[in-house]
Amino acid sequence: MTFSTSYDFIPLTPQKPPSWSTKFTSQPHQLFFVSAVFFAIAIMLATFISFIKEVSFDFYLIHSFGLTFGVFTNAFLGFLITVIPKYTSSTVIDKKRYFIPWVVLQLGIIITLFGFEEIGKLVVIGVLVYFNTIFYQTIKKGRAIDKKDSIFLNIVLSFGVIFLFCEVIFHINLSLLIFFGYLLTLVFTVAQRMIPAFYSSNLQILPWEKPRFLVEISMILFLALGIVIQFEFAMLFKIVSLLSMVFFGYIIFNLNIYKKAPAILSILMIAFIWLELGFIILFLESILETPTLKLALHIFAIGFVGNLLIGFGSRVIMGHAVPAQKIVADKLTQYLFILIQIIVITRITASLLFLNNSPIFMGFLHFSAWLWIILFLVWTFRYGKTLLRF
């Protein structure tokens, strides 16, 4: 007796490997991190060129808007698209929901930097509103019981939208309000959750039980700082900077993250130390009322946000690499961590020389700008192949 079926000898068709573009666009952090690195190098080159008197570049537009939205917003948007679904136990945000907005965001930033401010900023605002909506839907569908941090992160993102929209409508420069009320608040809200969790899981230690209203109080203080500095309320600046120095000093001192740890963790701890040093300098600036080339602001931007950008970026790329890589900082990455501390110190030196009326302060500004460019070029050399999925 013979038995046969029509499917006994169907040949197997080999699977076609995914194209490079499919692999590159498959994870949001890859798109947004590449944009962040590109703008980190391009913006600092343009900043350096703006120091040359013969070139009429808008320094605020290039340096402040470019770094805030081209570099930091790109990087942390990529991070949020990845982690908010995890924070809230929700569905992963699909590629078709972030790819086109990513393209539009880059176009908006470039249009703005080339001098078409109102159109470019409105495009950036539109993309941020879109992600506000996506995050809201993701949080709402999430099964997690505690969604507080995700909700506040989305609220802070909306602050960036509101402040940037006010710039367009009222034709005013709100760069300091955007920096404190949006960027620093966003980064701190991520850091106060992620860094203690990394230490706890890696070193098997209990995290410090943070105050119940930590996120709310920090948000109020950052927003208040942005308002009093932006609109030059001298007395309130002294009060709010003092309160911030004490409050964040208390939080940072009590975080259980100061034990001996691998370099990939230590860099995150160092970022918190720079944050508190920034608050100390900010308070001194409010008391002395002496121009310091915005020293505290640059300690926040490079020491706190910059360290976290390199630290979180390196972790995310290694953790999401294909094939997976062990999350360990190799020698080159450790040297990059050291380099970013040198950049902060160089920028501090420039301000101190400026205070002493030394003519060489400008040389240190140039030097810090070039060190920043070298930092991201070498970081690209180390992680570019993984990031680009080559």
Chain segment 35-55, per-residue pLDDT in tens: 999 999 999 999 888 777 666
Q: Does residue 192 contact residue 210 with C-beta atoms inside 8 Å?
A: yes
Q: Out of 141-155, 201-215, 313-327, which region has the weakest mean confidence (pLDDT)?
A: 313-327
In angstroms, rounded to a whole number, what is the distance separating the alpha carbons of residues 238 and 69?
Answer: 28
pLDDT mean over 99-128: 97
pLDDT for 291: 85
pLDDT mean over 342-357: 96
Domain boundaries, the chain: 24-173
Whether 191 has a pLDDT exceeding 80, the answer reads yes
pLDDT mean over 228-257: 96
pLDDT mean over 205-233: 95
CB neighbour class for 361 (10 Å; exposed up to 12, middle 13-18, buried from 19): middle
Does the pTM of the predicted model rise above 0.85?
A: yes
In angstroms, rounded to a whole number, what is the distance separating the alpha carbons of residues 166 and 304?
Answer: 27
Residues 316-334 have pLDDT tens digits of: 999 888 777 789 999 999 9
Q: DSSP secondary-structure letter at 320?
A: T
Q: Does residue 14 contact residue 42 with C-beta atoms inside 8 Å?
A: no
pLDDT for 246: 98
Output phi, psi for 10, to 5 deg. -70, 120
pLDDT mean over 147-168: 96
Whether 357 has a pLDDT exceeding 60, the answer reads yes
pLDDT mean over 129-135: 97
Token pair belonging to 211 = 């105050």
Sign of CA dihedral 206, 212, 214, 215: positive
Whether 2 has a pLDDT exceeding 60, the answer reads no
Whether 160 has a pLDDT exceeding 50, the answer reads yes
Whether 12 has a pLDDT exceeding 60, the answer reads no
Cis peptide before 323 (omega within 30 of 0): yes
Q: DSSP secondary-structure letter at 114?
A: T
Token pair belonging to 278 = 């920034």
SS3 32: helix
